[in-house]
Chains A and B, each alone.
Chain A
Amino acid sequence: MGNGDKPAQPPETRESISVAGSTTVLPIAQLTADLFMDTNPKTEIQVSGGGSSVGIQAVGGGTADIGMASRDLKDPEKTKFPDLVSHVVARDGIALIVHPSNTVGPLTIAEVKAIYKGETVNWNKVGGPDETIVVVGRDSASGTREFFHDAVMEKEDFVATQLEKNSNGAVQQTVAQTPGAIGYVGLGYLDRSVKTVPIEVNGTPVEPSVATVTGGEYPIARSLNMFTDGEPTGVAQEYLEFILSPDGQRIVEEEGFVPVQ
C-alpha cells in the first residue's frame, strides 16, 4: 500500500475509522455506527469483532481507532499501552438462563456458584426437575467469564466438565436446545427460546432487566468499554459522543444493555 496511489481515490474521500474488539460490545458499536453513518454520509465506521484482547491490541498498536472490551485492562496491557483511555459506553447485566421447560425457581448466588463449581449436579437439589445439570459457560479468554469468575465464583474454579462456548450466542443456542442446561449471557441475548432465572438477593428474587441493573438491585452487572489511544479526536470523538448521546443510548437500551447516562 504505497503512498503513490492517492490519485486513484475518489475526490470526496470518506473519512473512515475502525472499531474492533469484544463481541459483546459489537452490537452496540455496529448499530450506533449505522445510525451515525446515516447522518454523516461522508464517514465510514468499520466494526469488527475478534474479542476484547484483539480490540485492545488493535487500538494500542494503531491498527484500529477504537477498541472494544467487555472487561478492564489487564496489567500487561496497561504496561504495554499506557496511553489508552477508557470510555464506558454501557452497562451489561449478566443473566442466568435455562431451557424454557425447566421449572426451577429463583437461585441464590451461592446456589449458582455451587452449580458452576460442580457441587450441585441435579436440578432437584435446587428446587427444579429431576434432571442432570449441563453447565454451559464461556471460554477461558472471555471477558464475560472473567467477570462471572470474579462476581459469582469468587475466583474459584469452574467444574471441569462445563461446556465452553466462545460467544454469548453460542451459549444461548446450546441452552435453548438442551433441557438440562444452565448458562450465562448478557441481557441482549435474552429471548423466548430461553428462560431467565431470577437471582435471590436477601430473600427477594430479582429478574435481570435494564431496570433492575440501573436500579442497582440486580447483582451481576459490569461495564462495557471503548478504548482510544489518547483522547479521541475527529470522527472517533464524534462517534463516541454520539454513543453517549440520547440517540445512542436508546440503541444501547434497545439492544438489551443498560444505558450509562
Chain B
Amino acid sequence: MTETHQPRRAGLRNLKEQGVRAIWFLAASFATLTVFFILLFLLNNALPLFATVSPIEFLTGGTWNPTGAVPSYGIWPLIVGTLLVTLGAMVIAVPLGIGSAVCLAELAPPRVKAVAKPAIELLAGIPSVVYGFFGLIVLTDWLRIAFDVPSGESWLAGSILLGVMALPTIISVSEDALRSVPSSYREGSLALGATRWETISRVLVPAALSGITAAVILGMGRAIGETMAVIMVTGNAAIIPDPITNLLSPIRTLTGTLGIEMGEVAVGSTHYHALFGVAVVLLFITLAVNLAALWIMKTIRAGEGTAKKRRGLSLRPVREKISRAVALVPRPLSRTTVQHLAFALLWAAVGVVIAVLAVILGYIIVNGLPAISWEFLTQPPRDLGRAGGIFPAIVGTLYLVGGAILIALPIGIGAAVYLSEYTRGGRVTAAIRTGIDLLNGTPSIVFGLFGFAFLVIFLNFGVSLIAGMITLGLMILPTIIRTTEEALRNVPASVREGSLALGATRWQTISRVVLPPAVPGILTGTILSIGRAAGETAPILFTAAVFSTRFLPDSLSDPVMALPYHLYILATTVPGAETQQYGTALVLLVLVVGIYAAAIALRHRSEKKIQW
C-alpha cells in the first residue's frame, strides 16, 4: 500500500476549515462585543450627569423632576416602580402560566392541545402597542369602575398587562421543560400506583424545575423590559405607592421614563445624560436578573443529581419546599378528590388565558374591521391618517424587518454554528454565551436609545431605514442564535459521528448533514424574530420611523413609516382617528399573528417529518 497522504490538499483543506471556524467565531463574538459596546456607550453618555448629581443622589433620590425650577434627578421611585410592576406581573403570570403549562403538557387531550398551545403562543405575537392600546382604552376604564377609584391608570393595570404579556413565554418554555421530562419518570411513578396528580406534582414538576425557573425568568425579563404598554397604562407618576401595597396607585417605570422623555429632551442637557443614567440602571437590573437566572438554573441542575459534585450552596431545601407546596395535600381529602380539585384549577388557568386572548383579539377585530378597505391597505395616509390608508406603513414595516433579518440571520446562524459545533466549554465560550443571554434580556427601549445615540446621532445616519434595520437586527439576534442552536442541538450526535467517521471534514459535516435537518428549526426562529421585529415600537421610535410619507423610501437613508409607530401616533397624537387606530391595530395584528402562525405551522410540520 502506498502512502496516500496528500499534504498539499490536506493543507488547503485545513486552511479552509480554519477560515470557516474563524468566521463563525467572529460572528459569535459579535453578540458579546455588542453588549459591552452598548453598555460602554450608555455609560459614557451617562457620565456627564455626575458632574451635577452624585451617583448616590441619582440612585436614591426620591424625586424625579428634571424640569422643575430646581431640577431633581432621583430615580428611586422609578426603580421601585419597575420592580413593583414586575413583581405584580409575576404574581399574576407565574401561577397562571405554570398551571396552563402543566395542563397543556399533561392533561390536555392532543386535540385540545393542538389548538390551545398555538393560540397561547399567539399571545406572544400581539405587538406591545396593541396591548397598550387595549389597556389604555379598556383595562384602565374597567379597573376604575370595578374598584371605584378616580383613575384606573395604576400599578395594577401595568401588572395585569405585563403579566398577560409574559404568559406566552412562561407557558411555552415551561411546557417544553415538562415535555422533555423523560416519559420513563411518568411511567415509573404511575406503575407504583401514584395518581396522575401525584405523578405531576411530585415527579414531573420537580424534574422540570430548572426549565420552569428559566421560563419564569424569561417572562420576568420581558416584563421588566417592556415600554410601550407600560407607558400607556401606569399613569407614569414618579411616586412610590403609599402605602407600598397600594395597587391602585399610579407608578412610573424606568422604561416608561425613557420612552416618554427621550424624544423631547435637549441633546446634551443634564436631563439627557440623566436619561442615559436611567438606561444604564435599567440595563444593570436586567443583567442582574439574567445572571441570577443563569446561576439559579445551574444550581438546580447541579442539584438534580446528574452532576458529579455537590455544591456548597444547594437549592435543595427550596426545591423540596416547592414540591411540597405543589403537593399541598389537605389530608382529609381523598386522593381522587385532590386530583379532581387540582385538575379543575389547572383547566381554569388555561381557560383564563384563552379567555384573555379571546377578549383582546375580539375587541380589536370587532372595532378594526370597519376600517379595513382596499383603499386603507393600498393608499398613503391623508389628513394625518384620519383618511387614506396605511400602505407606506405596511411596506415600511416589511423593509425594516427584511433588513433586520438580513443583518441578523448570517451573524446569528454563524454564532449558533460556532457555539454548538465548534466549542463545548472554556472561558471564551462562556463569555460569549453570557453575552448572548444578556443581549437577549436587553430591553428593546435600550436598543432604541443606543440606536438613537450611536447610529442616528454619533454616526449621523439620521432617522433612517438603515438605523432602524440595524437596531432591530441587534434586537432579534439573540432569538435567532438561540433557536438555531436549539435546532442544531436536536440533530443527534450520532449523525455527526457518522459523517466524521466517513472522513468528512468538520465543515463538510456541518454543512451537509447537520444544517439541512436544522433548517425548519432555524426558519421557526427566523419567523419568530420577524414577528417580534414587526411588532416593536420602542427600537424604531427614535431611529427609523416617520409619521407620514406618500412615497416609499428609495434609499437606506430615508426614514420610513411603520405600522406599530403609526398606531402609537394615531392613538396618542391624532385626535379623531379612532377607526383608523383600530384598523391599523388589526392590520398589525394580522401581520404579526400571521407570521407567528406560519412559524407554528412550520414547527408542527417539521416535528412530524423529522424523527430521529
Query: Hey, which bits of chain A sit against chain B, CB under 8 A?
Result: 1, 5, 9, 14, 18, 20, 23, 26-27, 30-31, 34, 37, 44, 46-54, 56-58, 61-64, 74, 76-77, 80, 131-134, 139-143, 145-146, 149, 155-158, 160-170, 172-174, 177-181, 188-189, 191
Contacts and interface: CB of A to CB of B under 8 A. Distances in A.
Nearest to A164: B236
Contacts of B559: 18, 46, 48
Interface of B: 63-69, 136-137, 140-141, 144, 150-153, 231-232, 235-239, 249-250, 252, 259-269, 271-272, 382-384, 456-457, 460-463, 466, 541-542, 545-551, 554-559, 569, 571-576
B547 A64 contact: no
Given A139-B261, A141-B261, A49 B573 contact: yes
A95 B546 CA distance: 28
A5 B252 contact: no
15 contacts: A1-B557, A26-B573, A34-B550, A63-B461, A76-B266, A139-B261, A141-B67, A145-B67, A155-B69, A163-B151, A164-B260, A166-B572, A167-B573, A180-B151, A191-B575
Given A50-B542, A170-B572, A178-B150, A140 B268 contact: no
B557 A157 contact: no
Given A56-B266, A134-B151, A146-B67, A26 B547 contact: yes
Given A63-B462, A156-B69, A53 B237 contact: no
B143 to A, nearest CB: 11
B573 A169 contact: yes
B269 A74 contact: yes
Report whether over half of chain A's contact residues are helix, strand or loop; otherwise say mixed: mixed
Nearest to B553: A46
Nearest to B575: A189
B272 to A, nearest CB: 8
Contact of B238 (A1, A160, A168, A189): A160
Given A63-B462, A145-B67, A149-B67, A54 B236 contact: no
A173 B383 contact: no
A181 B65 CA distance: 22
Contact of B546 (A48, A61, A132, A158): A48
A134 B66 CA distance: 22
A134 B150 contact: yes
Contacts of B462: 58, 61, 63-64
A62 B569 CA distance: 24
A31 B383 contact: yes
Contact of A139 (B141, B260, B551): B260
A49 B252 CA distance: 23
Closest 5 CB pairs of A and B: A63-B462, A141-B264, A51-B263, A51-B264, A48-B546
B264 to A, nearest CB: 3
A27 B384 contact: yes
A77 B269 CA distance: 8
B547 A173 contact: no
